[in-house]
Amino acid sequence: MTTAVSRRDRRISPVFLSLVAIMVVSAWAVWTDYSASPGLAVFLFVVSGWVVSLCLHEYAHARTALHGGDLSIGAKGYLTLNPLKYTHVALSIVLPVVFVIMGGIGLPGGAVFIERHRIRGRWKHSLISAAGPLTNVLFAVALTAPFWLGAVDRVPEVFRYALAFLAMLQVTAAILNSLPVPGLDGYGVIEPWLSYRVRRQVEPYAPFGLLAVFGVLWIPEVNQGFFDAIDALMRAMGVSAWDTYWGQEFFRFWQGEPQLPGVSS
């Protein structure tokens, strides 16, 4: 089925390659302590890595939809990994980055427009929705590999913190986006299995699902419980709350360079 997509439609975008280049260069700057401002280097590494993961998240949706029967995906440019081709650039790139800066929460927004009527089978529809959060899970597993492989001692300290914080963003994105809330991927997984009447009743609330989730997270007790759960998952992958805390502190370079205990004067 994918043979109907031209090579041009599958060519990786220079925009995406530029994002990867920024991620690699900033990662090198953090690893080698080359930058005069470690915080700025961490910020560039985390933001570029986060946007790369957003692109991969949406690519997973698009690629799965393509194999499911929606051949229009190629012509829309979704297979090029170019974030500028997304339906809602502000919702898919700008808003998630703003939330990362404000509260250290990662959540991709809906971006690729899939022509669902071209796809037959409820399992295919569910898999298309699940592909995005699963990509965040794989990204988190890759980022935390030095931790759960016991190789973290060979990783420079600040780079370790940056990895931990970026991994935490992937975990929060995977969990929040998997909630069965209209407008999020979790609801997209179960939607094909709901009755037509229920889907029609829920449909008007889909645009507000994301706002509702963040509104609930502003409740102190909910926020505390959520991040306690995130910390528990991170510990299961070998990442401590210390690592993620200092990762976020370095990320917020505009607040001044953090003073690590035992390192600062």
- Rg from Cα positions in the chain: 19
Q: How many CB atoms lie within 10 A of CB 8?
A: 10
Please name the residues in contact with 84: beta carbons below 8 A apart, sequence gap of 6 or more. 13, 15
Residue 196 CA: distances (Å) to CA of 191, 192, 202, 204: 9, 9, 10, 14
Q: Judge contact between 39 and 110, C-beta under 8 A.
A: no
Catalytic residues: 58
Amino acid at the residue 251: F
Q: Judge contact between 163 and 142, C-beta under 8 A.
A: no
Chain length of the chain: 265
Q: How far apart are CA 244 and CA 172, in angstroms?
A: 12
Q: Judge contact between 247 and 234, C-beta under 8 A.
A: no
Residue 69 CA: distances (Å) to CA of 3, 66, 75, 82, 126: 12, 5, 14, 21, 14
